[in-house]
């Protein structure tokens, strides 16, 4: 199960720093940042498709984490809570971005590149998987990153992204086919 | 097409569920039978499963710079919240009071309309009659107090410049006919003044009752504006006392009275707690 990969990555021993940071200890919070920064940055970069945007979003995520930390009840692992918060920050940022971004997302839906037998899109050239992911249409990219990279379930993705579980499955399959085409070239 | 019952198109349709592991037993058997015979579909499944595995094993990315500095700068200087606004006491106002206020405003507006329409019609009728005969007419008996003909023709009633809206002096009124109109106090400025006075009085009663339902700052603004309008009315009346025939001053007074009625109506219909 892909979700199991999360468990392997979860750093242990956060609880003391979480408690201190929740009480306003910035040094403890910096330690939490150092522990989780790369993972959060990876999530933000892959979901946004841009390293620059990923850095901005990572900062937003940790500022938001600092604000929300007093509300963390420890019902789940801190890393799980943090990554869910990160996903929400990324998705909310997307929602508040300009019309151009939303138009791009809308245009994803009926993309002809969906066809298995069809040719790979011309703008996708030979590249490694990370680069290929960044070139995916936004909707397909988000679902692929959340499911295949981060290990979220379709039901969770549906709730986070405001789509149906079936829509999440369809976007995931579409993303995998597009990646295959891109990587074959 | 292969020797198995499943076509490649059917396989493609079943592929997402196959990869998710959500196919039922018999369908899964058909797919696997197809995969054993079809190179194209077997290659597709292999590639997609590899992508899944590679994606799950992707290494973490590393930011090009240390982002902590920017984060720390933002959390060290938190946004200072605005001074908390004192909780406004919740005042519950019965719905009937709002409805009653609205009904009163409508009724006063209706009264104004009716009276001013009659007044206007009466003035126009007399204006036509006087204009054609050129004779001085006796005031119509409307039950209103009548002045002596001498006084009426030479001196307007006090406040007589408070003409009705829409009767702000045609060229005919500025001529000889106007002199005759001035002699009709029951339908002229005096009655319009009475109409305004009656409506303003009713609206003021509503507004004073509603003061407790409105925000104190709103009440202060309303009172301030009423004072300004009252001052304008007083000035117009004083000026008209010196120049009773001035249509300009008459119009100004009418507009000031209109403003007062409008403001009072607005205040009477304001939602509670505003």
pLDDT digit string (tens) for B111-155? 666 666 665 555 555 444 444 444 444 443 433 444 433 333 333
Q: What is the pLDDT of residue B265?
A: 82
Asked if B102 is an interface residue toward chain A (Cβ–Cβ < 8 A), one would say: no
* DSSP 8-state secondary structure symbol assigned to residue B144: S
Asked if B44 is an interface residue toward chain A (Cβ–Cβ < 8 A), one would say: yes
Are B60 and A116 inside 8 Å of each other by CB? no
Distance separating alpha carbons of residues A151 and B189, to the nearest angstrom: 84
Burial class (CB in 10 A: 0-12, 13-18, 19+), B168: middle
Are A151 and B56 inside 8 Å of each other by CB? yes
**Cα separations (Å) of A171 from A6, A147, A151, A162, B236?**
22, 10, 15, 13, 75
**Four-CA torsion A31, A35, A38, A41, nearest 10 degrees:** -60
Burial class (CB in 10 A: 0-12, 13-18, 19+), A69: buried
Asked if B95 is an interface residue toward chain A (Cβ–Cβ < 8 A), one would say: no
**Structural contact between residues A47 and A117, judged by C-beta atoms closer than 8 angstroms:** no
Phi, psi of A74 (to 5 degrees): 75, 20
Distance separating alpha carbons of residues B243 and B194, to the nearest angstrom: 21
Q: Nearest CA of chain B to the CA of A106: how many Å? A: 22
Are A179 and B51 inside 8 Å of each other by CB? yes
Tally: H helices and E strands in chain A? 10, 0
**Chain B: residue nearest A170 by CA?**
B16
Centre a 10 Å sphere on the Cβ of residue A134 and count the other Cβ atoms it contains. 18
Q: Which domains does chain A have, with CATH numbers?
A: 1-97 (1.10.1740.10), 112-185 (1.10.10.10)
- Judged by CB atoms within 8 Å, which residues 14-33 of B form the interface with A? 15-16, 19-20
Q: Where are the alpha helices (DSSP H) in chain B?
A: 8-20, 25-37, 39-56, 68-76, 95-133, 149-154, 171-174, 176-182, 189-210, 216-242, 247-269
Asked if A171 is an interface residue toward chain B (Cβ–Cβ < 8 A), one would say: no
CB pairs under 8 A between A and B: 93
| Report for A31-35, A93-97, B155-159: range of highest mean pLDDT | A31-35
From the list A2, A26, A38, which residue is nearest B61 (CB)? A38
Are A180 and B48 inside 8 Å of each other by CB? yes
Q: How confident is the model at residue A87 (pLDDT cuts 50, 70, 90)?
A: very high
Are B16 and A169 inside 8 Å of each other by CB? yes
**Structural contact between residues A139 and A105, judged by C-beta atoms closer than 8 angstroms:** yes
Q: How far is CA B212 from the centre of its chain?
A: 22
**Cα separations (Å) of A35 from A12, B102, B183, B221?**
10, 65, 96, 58
Q: What is the pLDDT of residue B26?
A: 92
Asked if A7 is an interface residue toward chain B (Cβ–Cβ < 8 A), one would say: no
Q: How confident is the model at residue B180 (pLDDT cuts 50, 70, 90)?
A: very low
User: pTM higher than 0.80 for the full model?
Assistant: no
* DSSP 8-state secondary structure symbol assigned to residue B81: P
Is the confidence metric ipTM above 0.85 for this complex? no
Q: How confident is the model at residue B255 (pLDDT cuts 50, 70, 90)?
A: confident
Are B63 and A59 inside 8 Å of each other by CB? no
Are A173 and B63 inside 8 Å of each other by CB? no
Q: How confident is the model at residue B272 (pLDDT cuts 50, 70, 90)?
A: low
Q: Nearest CA of chain B to the CA of A87: how many Å? A: 16
**CB-based contacts of B137, cutoff 8 Å, min separation 6:** B126, B129, B130, B180, B183, B184
Asked if A55 is an interface residue toward chain B (Cβ–Cβ < 8 A), one would say: yes
Are A148 and B72 inside 8 Å of each other by CB? no
**Structural contact between residues A167 and A133, judged by C-beta atoms closer than 8 angstroms:** no
The more confidently predicted of residues A21 and B104 is: A21
Distance separating alpha carbons of residues B260 and B226, to the nearest angstrom: 7
Q: What is the pLDDT of residue B200?
A: 85
The arithmetic mean of pLDDT across residues B230-256, rounded, is 84
Collect all residues of chain A within an 8 Å Cβ-Cβ radius of residue B60: 38-39, 41-42
Report, in this order, helix, strand and coil percent for chain A, each rounded to 5.
75, 0, 25
Are B12 and A116 inside 8 Å of each other by CB? yes
**CB-based contacts of B52, cutoff 8 Å, min separation 6:** A2, A148, A176, B19
Are A149 and B58 inside 8 Å of each other by CB? yes
| Report for A38-47, A92-101, B176-185: range of highest mean pLDDT | A38-47
Are B68 and A179 inside 8 Å of each other by CB? no
**Structural contact between residues A46 and A130, judged by C-beta atoms closer than 8 angstroms:** yes
Q: What is the pLDDT of residue A15?
A: 85
pLDDT at B5 over 90: no
- Judged by CB atoms within 8 Å, which residues 84-113 of A form the interface with B? none
pLDDT at B207 over 60: yes
Q: Nearest CA of chain A to the CA of B30: how many Å? A: 20
**Structural contact between residues B130 and B222, judged by C-beta atoms closer than 8 angstroms:** no
> C-alpha angle with apex A137: A132 to A142, nearest 5 degrees?
85
Collect all residues of chain A within an 8 Å Cβ-Cβ radius of residue B67: 33, 37, 41, 55, 58-59, 62
**Chain A: residue nearest B67 by CA?**
A59
Distance separating alpha carbons of residues A41 and A145, to the nearest angstrom: 13
Distance separating alpha carbons of residues A26 and B104, to the nearest angstrom: 63
Are B16 and A170 inside 8 Å of each other by CB? yes
How would you write B197-248 as a 3-class SS string? Answer: HHHHHHHHHHHHHHHHHCCHHHHHHHHHHHHHHHHHHHHHHHHHHHCCCCHH
The arithmetic mean of pLDDT across residues B208-223, rounded, is 80
**Cα separations (Å) of B7 from A173, A179, B4, B31, B33?**
19, 24, 8, 10, 11
Nearest Cα residue to B126 out of B118, B117, B137: B137
Distance separating alpha carbons of residues A174 and B255, to the nearest angstrom: 70
Centre a 10 Å sphere on the Cβ of residue B194 and count the other Cβ atoms it contains. 15
pLDDT at A101 over 80: no
């Amino acid at each position: 199960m892909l979700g199991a990969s999360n468990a392997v990555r979860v750093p242990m021993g956060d609880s003391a720093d979480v408690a201190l940071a929740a009480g306003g200890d910035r040094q403890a919070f910096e330690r939490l940042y150092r522990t989780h920064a790369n993972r959060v940055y990876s999530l933000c970069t892959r979901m946004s498709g841009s390293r620059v945007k990923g850095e901005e979003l990572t900062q937003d995520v940790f500022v938001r984490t600092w604000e929300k930390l007093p509300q963390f009840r420890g019902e789940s692992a801190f890393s799980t809570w943090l990554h869910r918060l990160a996903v929400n920050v990324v998705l909310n940022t997307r929602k508040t971005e300009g019309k151009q971004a939303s138009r791009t997302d809308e245009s994803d839906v009926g993309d002809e590149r969906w066809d298995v037998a069809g040719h790979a899109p011309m703008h996708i050239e030979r590249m490694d998987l990370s680069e290929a992911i960044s070139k995916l249409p936004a909707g397909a990219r988000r679902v692929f990153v959340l499911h295949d990279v981060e290990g979220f379930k379709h039901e969770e993705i549906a709730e986070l992204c405001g789509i149906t579980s079936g829509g999440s499955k369809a976007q995931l399959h579409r993303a995998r086919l597009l990646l295959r085409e891109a990587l074959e070239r | 097409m292969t020797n198995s019952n499943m076509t490649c198109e059917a396989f493609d349709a079943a592929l997402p569920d196959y990869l998710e592991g959500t196919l039922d037993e018999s369908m899964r058997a058909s797919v696997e039978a197809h995969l054993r015979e079809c190179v194209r579909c077997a290659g597709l499944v292999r590639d997609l499963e590899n992508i899944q595995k590679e994606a799950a094993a992707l290494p973490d990315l590393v930011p090009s710079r240390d982002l902590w500095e920017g984060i720390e700068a933002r959390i060290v200087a938190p946004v200072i919240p605005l001074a908390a606004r004192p909780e406004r006491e919740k005042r519950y106002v019965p719905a009937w009071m709002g409805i009653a206020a609205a009904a009163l405003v409508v009724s006063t507006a209706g009264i104004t309309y009716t009276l001013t329409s009659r007044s206007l019609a009466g003035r126009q009728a007399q204006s036509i009659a006087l204009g054609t005969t050129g004779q001085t007419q006796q005031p119509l008996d409307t039950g209103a107090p009548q002045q002596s003909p001498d006084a009426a023709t030479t001196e307007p009633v006090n406040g007589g410049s408070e003409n009705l809206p829409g009767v702000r002096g045609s060229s005919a009124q500025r001529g000889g006919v106007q002199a005759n109109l001035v002699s009709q106090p029951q339908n002229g400025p005096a009655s319009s003044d009475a109409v305004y006075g009656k409506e303003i009085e009713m609206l003021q009663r509503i507004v004073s009752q509603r003061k407790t339902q409105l925000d104190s700052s709103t009440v202060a603004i309303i009172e301030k504006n009423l004072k300004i309008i009252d001052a304008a009315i007083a000035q117009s009346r004083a000026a008209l006392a010196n120049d009773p025939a001035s249509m300009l001053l008459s119009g100004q007074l009418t507009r000031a009275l209109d403003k007062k009625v409008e403001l009072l109506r607005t205040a009477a219909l304001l939602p509670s707690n505003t």
